[in-house]
Amino acid sequence: MIVPSCACVSARRGRVVTQVVAQATAPVGPAPPSGGVVVLTALDHECAAVCEYVTGRWSFIHAAGTIFEVGKLTGTDVDVAVTVVGCGTAAAAVLTERAIAAFQPRALFFTGVAGALKPSVRLGDVVVATKIYGYHGGRADRDEFRFHPDAWEAPHRLEQLARQVGREGGWHADDPGPTVHFKPIASGDVVLNSRTTPLATQIDRNFNDAVAIEMESAGAAKAGHLYTAPILTVRGISDKADGAKHVADRAGWQEVAARNAAAFLAALIARVPVRP
């Protein structure tokens, strides 16, 4: 047996390393379409609900490994890319930035489920965020936590199109369908499942116009702001953030809420104008 020299081993190892690095940094699949729409979700069943409205799907694998399901919005020529970012504001911020850089979309949307903060918002309802409150910034003084929140207004054009969809109806198979609320949403890295905790009390005191709470939109909104990319949040209500989340989850409200939000979003995306 001929043993390769150290130089040959090093050279071969160098080629192997080069090949591995190239494979790790090169996107997989055709170049992603630009100028379309990106939809971000936190959970797999939220992504699946959106993908029901996307035809001709294929997977684009970003150089960093993020997988986007790419296709056309059913019945239209609109390019749509959908991905799962995971839970939390940090992951949402990073992957929103990644999606903007990869697809240069004309609009982005974050969709999925949320918890209700007001009795008037029922399970299965849809909330379009007119404002996102990032509630986790602040200062911990001796006597209390003082919020220093961030806030991002909804892009005017996207909000106007969403209101038009809400007024005209017909986006849901049931008649009447779920109620659509145009109100602020609170966003931070906590699953709120009680109305009596100090955090719940502080949110009610400081953000009392928010009607829903979730964990990703503050990060996505921040990334959109830094890129001057329009991004709108559309959420379905899956629980009441009141200690009974496990009951609502067992009853299937996660899936119902995700499907309702996706149905509304599909009708909205169909109206987003092509970038001139």
* Residues 146-200 pLDDT 10s: 777 789 999 999 999 999 999 999 999 886 789 999 999 999 887 777 777 877 7
User: Is 186 a member of any domain?
Assistant: yes
DSSP symbol at 28: B
For the residues 220-227, what does the mean pLDDT come to? Answer: 97
User: Is 11 a member of any domain?
Assistant: no
Q: Which range marks the domain in which residue 168 is found?
A: 29-269
For the residues 120-127, what does the mean pLDDT come to? Answer: 97
Over 60: is that where the pLDDT of 140 sits? yes
For the residues 231-255, what does the mean pLDDT come to? Answer: 94
The band of 226, judged by pLDDT with boundaries at 50, 70 and 90, is: very high
User: Is 8 a member of any domain?
Assistant: no
Total domains in the fold of the chain: 1
**Quick one: the chain helix, strand, coil %, rounded to 5?**
35, 30, 35
For the residues 130-146, what does the mean pLDDT come to? Answer: 80
Per-residue pLDDT at 2:
26
> Using CA atoms, how far apart are residues 82 and 50, in angstroms rounded to an integer?
8
> Residue 177 corresponds to which amino acid?
G
User: Is 213 a member of any domain?
Assistant: yes
User: Is 133 a member of any domain?
Assistant: yes
- Closest by CA to 66, choosing from 55, 56, 81, 52, is 81
Over 50: is that where the pLDDT of 14 sits? no
List, in order, residues 6 or more apart from 264 with CB less than 8 Å away.
126, 128, 162, 165, 166, 171, 172, 180, 234
- Closest by CA to 26, choosing from 63, 56, 61, is 63
> Using CA atoms, how far apart are residues 233 and 48, in angstroms rounded to an integer?
17
Check residues 26 and 269 and name the one with the higher pLDDT: 269
Kindly report the CATH number assigned to the domain that includes residue 61: 3.40.50.1580
Do β-strands 231-239 and 126-134 pair in parallel, antiparallel, or remain unpaired? Answer: antiparallel
User: Is 19 a member of any domain?
Assistant: no
User: Is 2 a member of any domain?
Assistant: no
Q: 185 with 132: CB under 8 angstroms? A: yes
> Using CA atoms, how far apart are residues 114 and 181, in angstroms rounded to an integer?
13
User: Is 93 a member of any domain?
Assistant: yes
Least confident of 194-198, 221-225, 250-254: 194-198
List, in order, residues 6 or more apart from 232 with CB less than 8 Å away.
107, 108, 109, 110, 128, 129, 154, 155, 158, 159, 162
Q: 227 with 15: CB under 8 angstroms? A: no
For the residues 27-45, what does the mean pLDDT come to? Answer: 85
Per-residue pLDDT at 9:
34
Per-residue pLDDT at 10:
37
